[in-house]
């Protein structure tokens, strides 16, 4: 019997985790990884933080060095683009015309940045932070006194704002919504983070839409509802879009992401998908969801790999993510719904607190921590235990969260 070949499209964090798991579980299968970027897989969290501040910050991004892949017989094709998946012949076609056949295919194609859709004067380079190359380019120009305008007050925009401020730049954040991080966080947390940025010298322009980016007098100018913001450097952090085109091109189910079940299976039994490109069934939430986070890139591909080898593993995790801005660590666990009651533990004025969301019968369903990551460990256990909580005791910091377990 010939050896099975497992082909991974994409060479990011999710692809690495799938390849590691495939090799750990099976010494014999052929593993091929194909990625567009020139780099071996790297993790992205550091890109909008440490990598913007120093070259040493890049070390955090590479969990495996380039030679690790050869040593584990993972055939790494970099700077290579897959243009088509031919399901009938079970092969992928590359831009150079070559074809690679597969027994099992994993789509780990990730996301790309959403581009600013307004008019941009061609003399203004618009910077994004998605790839290592993006981060290196930006690091090279962030210098004391530079005026940096950031489009988007989400996690990436705010992390870049923090890094640029730390690099000595004068930073303005432009956000169309009336508050920061409105999609992800309760008001009390969003206000706390806004105050942090203002205290550090960031100019927040909320509730104003950037319409166009013009150029004059040697600098860029962002036209907003209330006037204009002058800048030497313009960065856009306005979200990402999943790379679903290959899946669409071969008629797999796509709905704001490649549709997979809780076992990472697409509607083709030979094709799996993993990482933030997936619209996946989350059994804990009872619905499908696409999540842009380190957690999904870390853990879901391991499940996909196991199932590519014939397993029946299930991916079921409470969504969790973190953001580091200045000296502030924010973590969100689970998803806050409109009907949840919010309980705050700790004092936002002190800078360390946790907001917990309880459902109608008092079970914890989600938690947000601000410089109180210790609480997240306990909250994860409390959420999975389904314990009904006493709201007053929960808010009392003299009562240990462990005591509810």
Partner 1 sequence: MEQRNTNWQTIGALDDFTEGEPAAVVAGERQIAVFRIGGEVFALNDLCTHGHARLSDGYVEDGCVECPLHQGLIDIRTGTPRCAPITEAVRVFPIRIVDARVEVNVY
Residue whose CB is less far from partner 1, 206 or 397: 397
The answer to whether 378 contacts partner 1 (rule: CB under 8 A) is yes
Secondary structure element (H or E) that encloses residue 163, with its range: helix 155-166
SS3 53: helix
The answer to whether 155 contacts partner 1 (rule: CB under 8 A) is no
> From CA 29, how far away is CA 313, in angstroms rounded?
19
In terms of Cβ atoms closer than 10 Å to its own Cβ (0-12, 13-18, 19+), residue 235 is: buried
CB of 284 to partner 1, least distance (A): 17
SS3 374: helix
State the SS3 of 309-349: CCCCCCCCCCCEEEEEECCEEEEEECCCCCCCEEEEEEEHH
Q: Which part of the chain contacts partner 1 (CB under 8 A), choosing from 125-133, 162-170, 192-200, 321-329?
A: 321-329
The answer to whether 87 contacts partner 1 (rule: CB under 8 A) is no
SS3 216: strand
The answer to whether 43 contacts partner 1 (rule: CB under 8 A) is yes
In terms of Cβ atoms closer than 10 Å to its own Cβ (0-12, 13-18, 19+), residue 222 is: buried
The answer to whether 32 contacts partner 1 (rule: CB under 8 A) is no
The answer to whether 329 contacts partner 1 (rule: CB under 8 A) is yes
Q: Which of 189, 324, 340, 370 binds partner 1 (CB under 8 A)?
A: 324
Q: Are 123 and 290 in contact (CB under 8 A)?
A: no
The answer to whether 376 contacts partner 1 (rule: CB under 8 A) is yes
* Number of residues in the chain: 405
> From CA 131, how far away is CA 338, in angstroms rounded?
35
The answer to whether 66 contacts partner 1 (rule: CB under 8 A) is no
Q: Which of 284, 373, 387, 397 binds partner 1 (CB under 8 A)?
A: 373
> From CA 10, how far away is CA 36, in angstroms rounded?
7
∠ CA 370-374-380, rounded to 5°:
95
> From CA 182, how far away is CA 178, in angstroms rounded?
8
CB of 294 to partner 1, least distance (A): 7
Q: Which of 261, 322, 342, 387 binds partner 1 (CB under 8 A)?
A: 322
CB of 375 to partner 1, least distance (A): 8
Q: Which part of the chain contacts partner 1 (CB under 8 A), choosing from 23-31, 99-107, 253-261, 368-376?
A: 368-376
The answer to whether 193 contacts partner 1 (rule: CB under 8 A) is no
Residue whose CB is less far from partner 1, 204 or 378: 378
The answer to whether 63 contacts partner 1 (rule: CB under 8 A) is yes
Task: Measure Cα distances from 73 to 17, 29, 251, 308 in Å.
Answer: 15, 9, 31, 18
Size of the site for partner 1 (CB under 8 A): 18
Q: At what angle do helices 294-308 and 13-25 cross, to 10 degrees?
A: 30
CB of 175 to partner 1, least distance (A): 25
Let me know how many helices (H) and strands (E) the chain has, helices first: 10, 26
Q: Which of 298, 351, 395, 397 binds partner 1 (CB under 8 A)?
A: 298
The answer to whether 60 contacts partner 1 (rule: CB under 8 A) is yes
The answer to whether 319 contacts partner 1 (rule: CB under 8 A) is no
> From CA 297, how far away is CA 242, in angstroms rounded?
13
Q: Which part of the chain contacts partner 1 (CB under 8 A), choosing from 105-113, 183-191, 221-229, 369-377?
A: 369-377
Residue whose CB is less far from partner 1, 170 or 325: 325
Catalog residues that contact partner 1 under the rule CB under 8 A.
Answer: 43, 45, 60, 63, 294, 298, 320, 322, 324, 329, 372-374, 376-378, 400, 402
């Amino acid at each position: 019997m010939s050896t099975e070949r497992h082909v991974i499209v994409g060479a990011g964090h999710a692809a690495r985790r799938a390849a590691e798991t495939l090799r750990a579980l099976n010494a014999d299968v052929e593993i091929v990884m194909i990625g567009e970027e020139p780099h071996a897989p790297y993790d992205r969290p550091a890109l909008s933080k440490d990598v913007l501040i120093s070259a040493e910050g890049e070390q955090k991004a590479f969990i495996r060095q380039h030679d690790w892949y050869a040593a584990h017989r993972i055939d790494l094709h970099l700077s290579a683009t897959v243009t088509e998946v031919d399901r009938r012949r079970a092969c992928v076609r590359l831009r150079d015309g070559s074809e690679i056949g597969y027994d099992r295919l994993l789509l780990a194609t990730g996301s790309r940045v959403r581009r600013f859709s307004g008019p941009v004067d061609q003399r203004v380079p618009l910077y994004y932070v998605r790839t290592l190359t993006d981060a290196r380019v930006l690091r090279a120009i962030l210098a004391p006194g530079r005026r940096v305008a950031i489009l988007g007050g989400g996690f990436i925009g705010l992390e870049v704002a923090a890094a640029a401020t730390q690099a000595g730049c004068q930073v303005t954040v432009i956000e169309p919504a009336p508050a920061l991080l409105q999609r992800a966080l309760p008001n009390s947390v969003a206000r706390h983070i806004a105050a942090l940025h203002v205290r550090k010298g960031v100019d927040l322009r909320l509730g104003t839409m950037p319409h166009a980016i013009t150029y004059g007098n040697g600098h860029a100018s962002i036209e907003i509802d209330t006037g204009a913001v002058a800048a030497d450097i313009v960065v856009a952090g306005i979200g990402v879009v999943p790379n679903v085109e290959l899946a669409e091109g071969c008629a797999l189910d796509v709905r704001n992401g490649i549709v997979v079940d809780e076992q990472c299976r697409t509607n083709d039994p030979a094709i799996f998908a993993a990482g933030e490109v997936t619209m996946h069934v989350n059994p804990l939430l009872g619905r499908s969801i696409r999540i842009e986070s380190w957690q999904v890139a870390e853990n879901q591909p391991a499940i996909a790999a196991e199932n590519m080898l014939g397993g029946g593993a299930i991916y079921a995790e409470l969504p969790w993510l973190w953001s580091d801005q200045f000296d502030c660590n924010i973590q969100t666990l689970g998803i806050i719904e409109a009907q949840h009651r919010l309980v705050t533990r700790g004092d936002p004025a002190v800078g360390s607190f946790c907001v917990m969301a309880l459902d109608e019968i008092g079970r914890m369903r989600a938690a947000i921590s601000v410089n109180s990551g210790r609480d997240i460990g306990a909250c994860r256990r409390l959420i999975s235990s389904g314990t009904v909580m006493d709201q007053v005791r929960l808010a009392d910091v003299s009562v240990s969260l462990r005591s509810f377990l």
